[in-house]
Structure 1
Amino acid sequence: PPAVQERWEPLLAGRRVLLSTGRLVRRKGFIELVRDVMPRVVERYPDALLLIVGSDPTSSLIHHERLSEELTRIIRDRSLESHVRLLGRISSDDLLALMRRSELFLLLGREVPGDLEGFGIVFLEAAVAGVPSISTRVGGIPDAVVHGVTGWLVDPQDINGFSVAVCRLLSDDEERKRLGEAARKRARERFNWDTLARAYQDTLAGLIRAGRRKSREKAHG
């Protein structure tokens, strides 16, 4: 809705908006994204603004951590207050408004034992909005992002390569447009509700397996 878009505009006006979403857990790479990538991006693009949408997982979930506090410290220590915003949970309308206003969707997926990245519904949400993604070759991410077609992928340990990818795509409007249009086209042609349902089932099954593994470890510990 236009009213939702207008509400965010004072924050976004004149900025190159980068978006990252998800539960604040290690495998999402938020720490590395803020600590290692954003200082390099801001050095080249002082108008860059990273919006992180998501909150700490509840204490009942596996890998419960309070990364929001750690991220807040990093933002302060790196003097990134005007370049990184932690938005917490927001409505689906607000998320859609931010997606449409973003130049790139970023997810620096990491390899964390016992906590694998699933198919990645967020990449489809970005694709439908015509936003290209930059991510890593971890878990199910390569199934959602086709390197060089709907976005760019780097190896999970290649922080420099991720930073370079962000800067290169921010500098190339035509390439961003090409990737975004291809992402939207692929999402509409290849992914329907059945596909999304299977993706959610796979994610849920992965959580259940991880929970059972954790229970067994505690039982034998």
Structure 2
Amino acid sequence: MLPQYVDHSFEGFGIVYLEANQYGVPSVGLTGTAAAEAVAHDQSGLLVEDSPSSVGAALQKILTNNRLHSRLSSGAQSWAAAHTWDRTVSTIRDEMVSVVNE
């Protein structure tokens, strides 16, 4: 998924990256978008500039380099495990409690 800004609208987070990562599928996302919060560059996938050649090169790199694919696949699962809904909600709850108690 390669979100684009169109008329001040864009995909805000991209849960699809984490869903893919959960199954060990590395992701390719665009730098300068919210994808950078969902894809850990060189850990769960690759972040690239918004150009067809950059996206194509990243996909080719992942699909043809078995060592890289294996490393990113393992990293993707770890990244997804660290970003579950339970952890996300817990973090938000803790932050809200902290603000209220200030």
TM-score bracket, shorter-length normalisation: 0.7 to 0.9
* CA distance, structure 1, for counterparts of residue 84 and residue 76 of structure 2: 11
Partner of 2:37: 143
C-alpha distance after superposition, 1:189-208 (max 9, x if no partner): 24333527x9xxxxxxxxxx
2:82 to 162, 178, 189: 189
Counterparts of 1:59-138 in structure 2, within 5 Å, are 107-138=1-32
Q: More relative contact order in 1 or in 2 (CA 8 Å, sep 6+)?
A: 2
SS of residue paired to 1:152: strand
- Aligned AA (1:180): S
Partner of 1:167: 60
Per residue, is there more strand in 1 or in 2? 1
- For structure 1, the 5+ residue unaligned runs are 1-106, 199-221
C-alpha distance after superposition, 1:148-207 (max 9, x if no partner): 111011122x211111111121111121111011111121124333527x9xxxxxxxxx
Offset, 1:138? 4.1
SS of residue paired to 1:163: helix
Offset, 1:112? 1.6
TM-score normalised by the chain length of structure 1: 0.38
Mapped contact 1:117–1:138 kept (Cα < 8 A): no
Q: How many residues align?
A: 91
C-alpha distance after superposition, 1:51-83 (max 9, x if no partner): xxxxxxxxxxxxxxxxxxxxxxxxxxxxxxxxx
C-alpha distance after superposition, 1:71-103 (max 9, x if no partner): xxxxxxxxxxxxxxxxxxxxxxxxxxxxxxxxx
- For structure 2, the 5+ residue unaligned runs are 92-102
Q: CA RMSD in A?
A: 2.1
Partner of 2:97: none
Percent identity over the alignment is 31
Mapped contact 1:110–1:138 kept (Cα < 8 A): no
SS of residue paired to 1:181: helix
- Aligned AA (1:147): H
Which ranges of 4 or more aligned residues in structure 1 deviate by more than 3 Å?
Answer: none
- Aligned AA (1:136): L
Matched, 1:179 2:86: no
